[in-house]
Chain A
Amino acid sequence: MKFDTPATTNPIDRLRVVGKPTDRIDGPLKTTGRAPYAYERHDVAPDAVYGYVVGATIAKGRIRSIDTHAARAAPGVLAVVTADNAGRLGKGKHNTARLLGGPQIEHYHQAIALVVAETFEQARAAAALVRVDYVRAHGRYDLARGKDAAVEPKSDPDTGAGDFDAAYAAAAVRLDATYTTPDQSHAMMEPHASIAAWNGDRLTLWTSNQMIHWSKQDMAMTLGIAEDKVRLDSPYIGGGFGGKLFLRADALLAALGARAVRRPVKVALQRPLIFNNTTHRPATIQRLRIGCRQDGTIEAIAHESWSGDLPGGSPEVATQQSRWLYAGPHRKTALRLATLDLPEGNAMRAPGEAPGMLALEVAMDEMAEKLGIDPVEFRVLNDTQVDPEKPERPFSRRSLVECLRTGAERFGWQRRAARPAQVREGRWWIGLGMAAAYRNNLVMTSGARVRLDRRGIVTVETDMTDIGTGSYTIIAQTAAEMMGVPLERVVVRLGDSNFPVSAGSGGQWGANSSTAGVYAACTKLREAVARRLDLDPDAATFEDGIVRAGDRRIALAEAAQDAELVAEDRIEFGDLAERYRQATFGAHFVEVGVDAWTAEIRVRRMLAVCAAGRILNPKSARSQVIGAMTMGVGGALMEELAIDRRFGFFVNHDLAGYEVPVHADIPYQDVVFLDETDPISSPMKAKGVGELGICGVGAAVANAIHNAVGVRVRDYPITLDKLIAQIPRIDK
């Protein structure tokens, strides 16, 4: 199905199942521990043996020699896989560094060996016996130092309109501020894990992966085998946040290990290895310049961002939202990419906007303060309904102002003291902060297969993944709505590369695109059902398990009495994304307390108002938003991969050292979805919310801290050591 004209009325609009806050259909399995994750497939690989990964302990250089004698001689050891014996390996399209290093080492904890043994304990002990002699090379580990040599990336050229420099120079009120955001880790709870088994020249990989098709292709490319020889199965994924978008070392090494020992091999990346071995969100240095008229109208806005990556890597696109969030005739954005020898940078939840909004939305707060305008009003004043770079291109649907107004009202924004450091409750300075939320709406081709059996059960098959996003449930809701059956009559099977290729889970495109693909397949199935029942496909309606056309009413299951009906299709998006700017919008409001003695920061209240098209399941969508808000609090207040700039690695490489929020950090979170649909986006009229919730929330926290104590920290995370010398003292 081609989607190239805005959606009109369709069966989804009935909203008998879609749009309801249904409990997740996978809930009973997950809450009872019966949902099998990648490492737990005793059912399909009962005889699997254990792999343990050895990581490089230099950041850059080469292996002079690697001695695996002792490891191979250790009890229970079946094989030690290294680059020396792994055979010729290619590199996946989505990988920057090699997944199995050696002799060249590209980053710290790059995998250099897999020890395979009969038991986990044996593999772990033997891995400690692998001895490596390295030749260290000089590496670049400091973004600030690499900044001046950073280049304009071909993939992301500078953008602009009007004459920024002149307009900025002439502006009545100017802000020029620089912000830094640190490297961050996805830190999903389930480590990257895979079980690999070979049957002749065919590889099956039970794994934990967000993008089945990408990783199937990349596995074939890396091993140098045909794509159709590789099968991936990933029905349950213990979190990803972008960290499992790609083929990673667990999968490749499990495959190599299984080939070497001719038995299934299971590999989970050890937690202390994950932070340096896998990808991370790159640090940025961002400069914002905003020039306004005295009345607060933005005349000129520029956003520049520097980030680093390994050779061949890509930039963190932190300037993205600044092209479209606010009006202003004179504007520019620029990304600069430095070469660094730190581990591979790549996408993490809302790449671009998540760090970009941390800078832009604090700059907006600072500018509002300079202008003496309320921060909400300043944003409202500079709203735009068209792409500021191409005014002829409208937004498909843009309710930013309504989000801001709704949020301000609901949060009690009018009680905020405009002057900082005015409100204290006991030992706590109290501050309110807000920020806009913005995240692009991306759409991706997505396929599905739908089956109808003689019992009237509808089964959906797609390689779409559920990484906690609720895909199982919203896909079931979509199929139930389309086929006119209750949710209990729908079975959803996900994550298997034998199923049609879907959009996968990334960039918050999954919910809208994958359900649109199911919509397309169900549309075909409805046609097949109507034909089988001799009904007019255009006139047939599907409701309550009955197909109706004119005065005829036939049970849906009738259509499959002789043979199962199967339909497959995919949604393909035309040029609506070019003709219209598509994005999701929101507003974040946060109240913080800052301890007047110690400068400890605690979030006390949070509200997000979101406008993201039709909300397919308000319960799971709300969870996506509160989860993103939680990660945003982490980014604002504690998350930072600390770099040892001498040795070139992230020092705090475990879950004790890399702090993410705990229960005690997170207050009750309020979420409001504006009631809207976006027919430009897809037949579902939905957009994504999984990343919108993180975009801007950290800035709202930062702005609230400023409001509480009057200190502006432009270097994330905002920790007490950056405040303590400056907050107003209450004991003197």
Chain B
Amino acid sequence: MPDEPAVKFTRREMLIAGAVSVTASGLPCAVAAADALSTPATPAPVNAEVTFRVNGRDRTLTLDTRTTLLDALREHLQLTGTKKGCDHGQCGACTVIADGRRINACLSLAVMHQGGSITTIEGLGTPDALHRMQRAFVERDGYQCGYCTPGQICSAVAVLDEIDAGIPSHVSADLSAAPQPTPDELRERMSGNLCRCGAYSNILEAITDVAKERT
């Protein structure tokens, strides 16, 4: 048959693939031969206590060590403004500001933030008292479905601070000059926040509005 895979799954390889799923792999998707392997021991969850400050308030949680900062916020503190778009650091929807820096909350364990300070979208403003960046996003329609929006806004707030701090970017023509919030600089710096609705052009205008007021 012409369409047969060039890498053939022989019976033996099926067993190996099975071993992948049971001993080394990860799945969403487990391939295994049922008779090949004994049931592995499944280690019990390990819990640890962690205390950090979230939006100005000290929070102490006892968490499975596997809990990401993202899931600690969303599932344990019910701060669902921080979004899970991919859970693998590929979209930026989970962007929060940790100890003054924007990070992807999905690729950080909660226990690694012991003693740290986290600002989420909920900590920036409320519907009745919007943060300047939040108001700019509303005015410029810098969002559509709204799912990437909290991450975009947290990122945007941090980006302006990064520019103020003189941190260069990939598009900075002169590495030693103080970077400016030009459209190209903002686009490059915001590129870790995907927006599939395609609000980029409006988001840029929103950030630019805020940047102009700061100078």
Contacts and interface: CB of A to CB of B under 8 A. Distances in A.
Are A and B subunits of one complex? yes
B210 to A, nearest CB: 13
Interface in A624-645: 624, 626-631, 645
Interface stretch (A124-132, A221-229, A703-711): A124-132
Contact of A55 (B29, B75, B78, B87): B29
Interface string A184-203: 00111111000000000000
B30 A131 contact: yes
B147 A109 contact: no
Interface in A64-84: 64-67, 69-70, 73-76
Contacts of B143: 27, 30-31, 468
Interface stretch (B34-42, B97-105, B160-168, B174-182): B34-42
A488 to B, nearest CB: 14
A142 interface: yes
A131 B22 contact: yes
B114 interface: no
Given A23-B139, A654-B90, A664-B188, A623 B32 contact: no
Interface string B70-112: 0100110011111111111011010000000000000000000
A37 B199 CA distance: 19
Contact of A239 (B124, B135, B147, B203): B147
B146 A468 contact: yes
Interface string A113-139: 000000111100111111111101011
Interface string A678-694: 00000000000000000
Contacts of A64: 34
Interface string B125-152: 1111010001101110101111111100
A146 to B, nearest CB: 10
Nearest to B124: A32
B28 A23 contact: no
Interface residues of B, number: 92
Nearest to A22: B141
Interface stretch (A270-278, A425-433, A479-487): A270-278
A271 B90 contact: yes
A663 interface: yes
Q: How large is the interface on A (under 10, 10 to 19, 20 to 34, 35 or more residues)?
A: 35 or more
Interface string A12-45: 0000000000011011111111111101101000
B195 A32 contact: no
Contacts of B80: 33, 36-37, 39-40, 42
Interface in A361-386: none
B83 A29 contact: no
Contacts of B172: none
A631 B141 CA distance: 17
Contacts of B14: 133-134
A131 B124 contact: no
Interface in B8-63: 9, 14, 18, 21-22, 25-35, 37, 39-40, 42, 44-45
A270 B7 CA distance: 27
Contacts of B197: 189, 239, 468, 623, 627
A35 B149 CA distance: 11
A626 B28 contact: no
B118 interface: no
Given A28-B138, A42-B78, A468-B146, A663 B188 contact: yes
A405 interface: no
Q: Which of B79, B124, B138, B188 has the most CB of A within 10 A?
A: B138
A137 to B, nearest CB: 11
A393 interface: no
Contacts of A31: 121, 125, 130, 134-135, 137-138, 143, 146, 149-150, 153
A65 B201 CA distance: 51
Nearest to A55: B29
B201 A664 contact: no
A54 interface: yes
Nearest to A669: B201
Contact of B198 (A30, A37, A628): A628
B27 A128 contact: yes
A189 B194 contact: yes
Given A57-B31, A140-B3, A655-B86, A666 B22 contact: no
Nearest to A620: B141
Given A35-B146, A131-B22, A138-B1, A126 B42 contact: yes
A411 B86 CA distance: 38
A604 to B, nearest CB: 11
Q: Which of B28, B42, B71 has the most CB of A within 10 A?
A: B28
Contacts of A73: 39, 42
Nearest to B143: A30
B39 A69 contact: yes
Interface in A230-246: 236-241
B117 interface: no
Interface in B168-208: 171, 183, 186-188, 190-204
A270 B171 CA distance: 33
A189 B148 contact: yes
A626 B198 contact: yes
Contact of A70 (B26, B40, B130, B200): B40
30 contacts: A28-B130, A31-B125, A31-B130, A31-B138, A31-B149, A34-B126, A37-B83, A40-B74, A56-B29, A70-B22, A73-B39, A126-B42, A128-B22, A131-B22, A138-B4, A189-B145, A189-B147, A238-B146, A239-B144, A239-B147, A240-B145, A268-B84, A271-B85, A271-B87, A468-B144, A468-B197, A630-B198, A662-B200, A664-B188, A668-B204
In the A-B complex, the 8 residue pairs with the smallest Cβ-Cβ separation, listed nearest first, are A33-B81, A630-B198, A238-B147, A468-B145, A468-B144, A30-B146, A627-B198, A646-B5
Interface of A: 23-24, 26-37, 39-40, 42, 53-58, 64-67, 69-70, 73-76, 109, 119-122, 125-134, 136, 138-142, 145, 186-191, 236-241, 268, 270-273, 467-470, 619-620, 622-624, 626-631, 645-647, 654-656, 660-664, 666-669
Given A73-B39, A121-B66, A129-B42, 20 more contacts: A27-B143, A32-B130, A33-B81, A37-B147, A75-B45, A129-B40, A131-B18, A138-B4, A189-B196, A190-B147, A271-B86, A620-B141, A626-B202, A627-B197, A645-B3, A646-B5, A654-B88, A661-B198, A664-B191, A666-B201
